[in-house]
Structure 1
């Protein structure tokens, strides 16, 4: 591809580690390889305040493989970021050293920076529309409201409001959902807590968005469950519209299941079964606050944002 630069981006989240290798030319992203590994970096972190040795090892193994593959594919530059659990953990320096030994030292980015990059990626292909982008992570949820435009061959985001809220699927599961299946009062307490944490952001908005775009594992998993995908098909998930009513139905259905039963749900990765109820609680709450009847699900997320960004933050060549 003439004039293209091959880039690699690695996103290290609380639940998942992911890789995207792509050719970028004139502001367009052409995927070469996308990989995802559920590593549960944040397992136990919400109660201990530290990342476990086992979780750090799982991530380091995944990232080492990502770096080797990106280099073999000829990526001119590799950039890596780490998010919520890495921001909050007391032993994040130790984690960074382990990742550096695995081949790359990621930048631990702020919640607002994470939100900006997610918005830039999620709105790829959307122009001049007031959009709310939602990324339900394992430790936090990023909510960004803004518009996008294209100038001089580059995409730009005009951000009206951005907030990283400490409500995530792993954090909520460990705080509230102790029973198997979760008891009704546990789900109700979790939902009430999430609503309280989200309320200040939405109370401060002058008006609601025209569209809501949801990215990352919770949203894509819920779409795959509705579509009964086996195997997972990103082309069918991207652009799928989740209605508020169907989201509530799916949440109720999943919350009545044991963990073993959820592991067998078509469309749901077994390793995500332990946190999907909490993730669905967050997504449903955000949609209700946004005052919209549905959300668009996108495969374009922070990895796309990292591709479209000037690429000056962290990483290794």
Structure 2
């Protein structure tokens, strides 16, 4: 038995599920109570004490349900909060209060984590609906504080973007104006178009995508406009969606609550969110959009069922997104491939020494593929440009902390090793500093093995001996240039692992 809790901008929701031994999921119960966290955060920047205590009350009621299901082990429950909590100035005090009052640890997750959970939530849906398997699919959720977009190209994740465009932010803008009601709707429309413009610029020149909208507003639209009642995916004409948005914006919040039995917070965001969906579809010249039923809670449950967040399929999607970044900055694919292959062999051979998990092997691979993208800006100090580009790229599945570590590993693939004068490195705790050094020293050796970008050492073997690491080429050939590079780049490796690196040509000819 498993349970998940999602603290969003307008509601606190919980789902309880039974996960079978084969990973199949049976949803047992779903609960929801409206709480206006978004209104607090996106208007004042802080969560009010009264709102905090309302959340406490809701979580206490949920805890009673958990007791009935005998869900009491920490591994059987995961509780997360999204942008309304993450962006609040008193976030830590809010989360501490929830834990003290209820014993439920709540984690404020970032946009990258939300996109990862969205991926888990829509996997089954994409497999079952051929209409969504287009050349380019955008899975979009317009939330209270941000709009999350997960992009698929031919069924693989290509990118993940988070935009600070949300229904509560639009509502907040309206309250800054002192205008008649008729003019307020024009202002809201103008602000929605302005927000959508930055999204449209991201996709300028690309083939028109298919859009799948998620979220409460999308489910509301599907219930009123969808052809198949209760279907997991609904196809809706943009013109009909526009009429629905216009109709909802014509009602006051109180009228929406009475007419459609919405919570006050959901009623506040309904019109602005639908309008944003319409303007995005129009900006991309779409006649139809799709709506889907998956939720963040579905993603959390699916992750629990998989038994690990970093499944092989998930990592494959990360690396597909990495390739998109590499192509964007004109990386040398052949060179990067040799470096990644060598880095993985070294990482595997040294497992007993570095004691790092598969998670960090993936970060090493990311750094290996992208270590030279800084040359897109300039050959001079390109390792520093690489660090900046990786840290500021939208790579699916990697948190801000993951990006920072991968960027530093790539930054140290050449020139200076980590020093006390390097501010970004010094901000890490001791454990992460050691992790960066372990991975960067491996990457330096791997890069040296293709110093001339000629791919002489596509195949090699690695043997760890007591005082050295021996790399042997699979085929005969001259490795003079690579040995010269190793003399320069191998010093850091020797400092970290206490072993010299020895490269020798194949002995097959002897």
SS at match of 1:89: coil
- Give the TM-score of the pair, scaled to structure 2: 0.52
Where does residue 153 of structure 1 map in the other structure?
none
Change (3 A) 1:147 1:187: same
Where does residue 155 of structure 1 map in the other structure?
none
Superposition deviation, residue 90 in structure 1? 0.9
Please list, as runs of the form range in 1=range in 2, the aligned pairs for 1:42-121 lying within 5 A after superposition.
42-75=38-71, 77-101=76-100, 102-121=102-121
Structure 1 residue 173 corresponds to structure 2 residue 168 = no
Change (3 A) 1:262 1:237: farther
Q: 1:246, 1:237 → 2: CA distance?
A: 18
Superposition deviation, residue 237 in structure 1? 6.0
Equivalent of 1:10 in 5, 10, 14:
5
Structure 1 residue 248 corresponds to structure 2 residue 203 = no
Change (3 A) 1:202 1:98: farther
Where does residue 145 of structure 2 map in the other structure?
139
Structure 1 residue 192 corresponds to structure 2 residue 186 = no
RMSD: 2.8
- 8 A Cα contact 1:144 1:161, kept in partner: yes
Superposition deviation, residue 167 in structure 1? 1.2
SS at match of 1:126: helix
Farther-moved stretch of structure 1 (239-248 vs 32-41): 239-248
Superposition deviation, residue 259 in structure 1? 2.7
SS at match of 2:62: helix
Please list, as runs of the form range in 1=range in 2, the aligned pairs for 1:224-263 lying within 5 A after superposition.
224-226=223-225, 236=230, 238-263=232-257
- 8 A Cα contact 2:151 2:160, kept in partner: yes
Structure 1 residue 39 corresponds to structure 2 residue 32 = no
- 8 A Cα contact 1:119 1:133, kept in partner: no
Count of aligned pairs between the two proteins: 292
Q: 1:181, 1:80 → 2: CA distance?
A: 41
- Give the TM-score of the pair, scaled to structure 1: 0.81
Structure 1 residue 278 corresponds to structure 2 residue 284 = no
Instruction: Report which structure shows greater RCO (CA 8 Å, sep ≥6).
Output: 1
Change (3 A) 1:112 1:288: farther
Where does residue 122 of structure 2 map in the other structure?
122
Change (3 A) 1:251 1:125: closer
Q: 2:13, 2:85 → 1: CA distance?
A: 15
Superposition deviation, residue 240 in structure 1? 2.9
- 8 A Cα contact 1:82 1:106, kept in partner: yes
Change (3 A) 1:208 1:22: farther
Change (3 A) 1:163 1:260: same
- 8 A Cα contact 2:151 2:157, kept in partner: yes
SS at match of 2:39: coil
Superposition deviation, residue 273 in structure 1? 1.8
Q: 1:235, 1:63 → 2: CA distance?
A: 32
Where does residue 22 of structure 1 map in the other structure?
17
- 8 A Cα contact 1:123 1:148, kept in partner: no
Change (3 A) 1:206 1:82: same
Farther-moved stretch of structure 1 (87-96 vs 271-280): 271-280
Q: 1:39, 1:304 → 2: CA distance?
A: 21
- 8 A Cα contact 2:148 2:161, kept in partner: yes
Change (3 A) 1:312 1:71: farther
Unaligned runs of 5+ in 2: 310-510
Change (3 A) 1:270 1:241: farther
- Structure holding more helix per residue: 2
Farther-moved stretch of structure 1 (171-180 vs 91-100): 171-180
Deviations 1:161-197 (A, max 9, x none): 1111111111211112666577232223222232234
Superposition deviation, residue 206 in structure 1? 4.3
Structure 1 residue 295 corresponds to structure 2 residue 289 = yes
